[in-house]
Amino acid sequence: MKAKYRILEVVNTPSLVGKTITINAWVRTKRESKNVAFVALNDGTVFDNLQVVIDVQKFDEELLKNISTGAGVGVTGKLVESQGKGQALEMVADSIVLYGPADPTTYPLQKKGHSLEFLREIAHLRFRTNTFGAVFRIRHHMAFAIHQFFDNKSFKYLHAPIITGSDAEGAGEMFHVTNFDLDHIPRTEDGKINFSEDFFGKETNLTVSGQLEGELAALALSEIYTFGPTFRAENSNTSRHLAEFWMIEPEMAFYDITDNMDLAEEFLKYLVNYALQNCRKDLQFLNDMYDKELINRLERVVQTPFVRLTYSQAMDVLLQSGKKFEFPVKWGVDLQSEHERFLVEEHFKNSVILTDYPREIKAFYMKQNDDGKTVKAMDVLFPQIGEIIGGSQREEDYDKLLARINEMGIPHKDMWWYLETRKFGSVPHSGFGLGFERLLLFVTGMKNIRDVIPFPRTPQNAEF
């Protein structure tokens, strides 16, 4: 018979009451009096702690002294209904194994609250807090839900390359990938770096987007998605940017911009609803501790249709609002954060999808509208965090795409394969990118993106 259980199972298996089992976990707190001690154990499998009741007389004094906050222990005992309030079940300890003590005078985590900034500096230990246990359990469930959503729709999970030889997407500054001895970098006769001698025989970088490769696959498999790490070497110092983050990029053949919007909205609602259904305890904790409106906001997103309007219509709303903006509103300039926030948080009080942006402020691959001025772009704007999804219908017309590439001075040698898909069997298609950590910001109510990824990489910081 199985004797070793996780707290998740203890919480969800009422029939275990009366049984003697073993729990391996870490000590959260200990409360002691002369004859009895109470130890709260947590193994991270679920938000709940398991209270262990210890008859002080039955155990070695030195052992009990080492059962302090942070210690790793295995406790065997009988599960009983709790005499005290605050928990339904508790365990009466028969034996205790101390795997590893945690010296209370140097262990940094205390019973009381710590600031998120301090916990960021001890990212190797912050998993052991209620907050980060909740955040990273939710992160897991969201990743799983993403695969489930697409699998339900028969989308194929595509692994786009992480090392890329093209700098064509222009999504941002890239990290170089090289095998050169940095003290002796080969040069050509005219003094430039000789990439032909490098590992790949050409200049290579870490990917800033898997979209272009995703399109190639979609134009054969019909519907695909990527979900992988993405790298931007921008010197961005904000609570919404990381140098290394995870991105989901679906790409669908035979989808126009409206199909694309429908999918994005369904996708986001599925994920938020999944969290509400499957991460309730963790969400409730985050709601109580950090953001009293969190669960209300999540429920509202699931229930309310997103507002859809064009960039031009949004311009009219902004102009007619009579509101003074730091950056003046004018057709043709990109929307600033303050404009997006006004639309989402003040005017519509709802999630918004904006479409048909001026072509000059959007990427080369977006499908050009007949008006000659706008492209079939779409951005999904969320309360609190702004742009959560950016996407578009792609330009499938070879001549128009080529003209745009020339216009923007993008080198053909990097793009020949992308252009060929428009030469052979080109069809209408669309896609978008969702920043995984931005989704998590929204779902968890955390305010800083560094607190929803285990080990954040930002300018001047790659610790751990």
SS3 425: coil
The distance of closest approach from Cβ of residue 214 to RNA in the complex, given in angstroms and rounded to an integer, is 13
Among residues 15, 179, 237, 303, which is the contact residue for RNA, using CB under 7 A?
237
**Site pattern 47..66 for RNA (x: CB under 7 A):** ----x-x-------------
The distance of closest approach from Cβ of residue 454 to RNA in the complex, given in angstroms and rounded to an integer, is 15
Q: Token match 């000059």: residue?
A: 360
Among residues 4, 13, 17, 31, which is the contact residue for RNA, using CB under 7 A?
31
CA–CA gap between residue 36 and residue 57 (Å, rounded): 8
The distance of closest approach from Cβ of residue 7 to RNA in the complex, given in angstroms and rounded to an integer, is 15
The distance of closest approach from Cβ of residue 327 to RNA in the complex, given in angstroms and rounded to an integer, is 7
- Is residue 92 within 8 Å of residue 53, measured between CB atoms? yes
C-alpha torsion angle, residues 363, 434, 451, 306 (rounded to 10) = 110
Among residues 197, 334, 346, 371, which is the contact residue for RNA, using CB under 7 A?
334
The distance of closest approach from Cβ of residue 143 to RNA in the complex, given in angstroms and rounded to an integer, is 15
Report if residue 20 touches RNA, rule: CB under 7 A. no
DSSP of 300-347: HHHHSPPEEEEHHHHHHHHHHT----SSPP-TTSPPPHHHHHIIIIII
Q: Token match 């795409």: residue?
A: 401
Among residues 99, 118, 199, 464, which is the contact residue for RNA, using CB under 7 A?
118
The distance of closest approach from Cβ of residue 174 to RNA in the complex, given in angstroms and rounded to an integer, is 12
Provide the angle, in degrees to the nearest 10, between the axes of the packed helices 130-152 and 436-444.
120
The distance of closest approach from Cβ of residue 173 to RNA in the complex, given in angstroms and rounded to an integer, is 8
Among residues 114, 147, 308, 347, which is the contact residue for RNA, using CB under 7 A?
114
CA–CA gap between residue 321 and residue 338 (Å, rounded): 13
CA–CA gap between residue 453 and residue 139 (Å, rounded): 8
- Contacts with 95 (C-beta within 8 Å, 6 or more apart), sequence order: 75, 76, 77
C-alpha torsion angle, residues 85, 68, 41, 283 (rounded to 10) = 80
Residue 195 or 354 having the CB closest to RNA = 354
The distance of closest approach from Cβ of residue 261 to RNA in the complex, given in angstroms and rounded to an integer, is 15
- Is residue 17 within 8 Å of residue 91, measured between CB atoms? no
CA–CA gap between residue 149 and residue 348 (Å, rounded): 28
Binding segment for RNA (CB under 7 A), chosen from 113-121, 145-153, 264-272, 293-301, is 113-121
Residues between 381 and 420 with contacts to RNA, criterion CB under 7 A:
386-390
Residue 136 or 432 having the CB closest to RNA = 432
Selection from 147, 57, 46 nearest residue 93 by Cα: 57
Residue 141 or 339 having the CB closest to RNA = 339
**Site pattern 265..304 for RNA (x: CB under 7 A):** ----------------------------------------
Using the Cα atoms of residue 451, residue 452, residue 456 and residue 458 in order, give the sign of their dihedral. negative
SS3 414: helix
Applying CB under 7 A, what is the total number of residues that bind RNA?
71
Residue 4 or 31 having the CB closest to RNA = 31
Report if residue 433 touches RNA, rule: CB under 7 A. yes
**Site pattern 125..164 for RNA (x: CB under 7 A):** ----------------------------------------
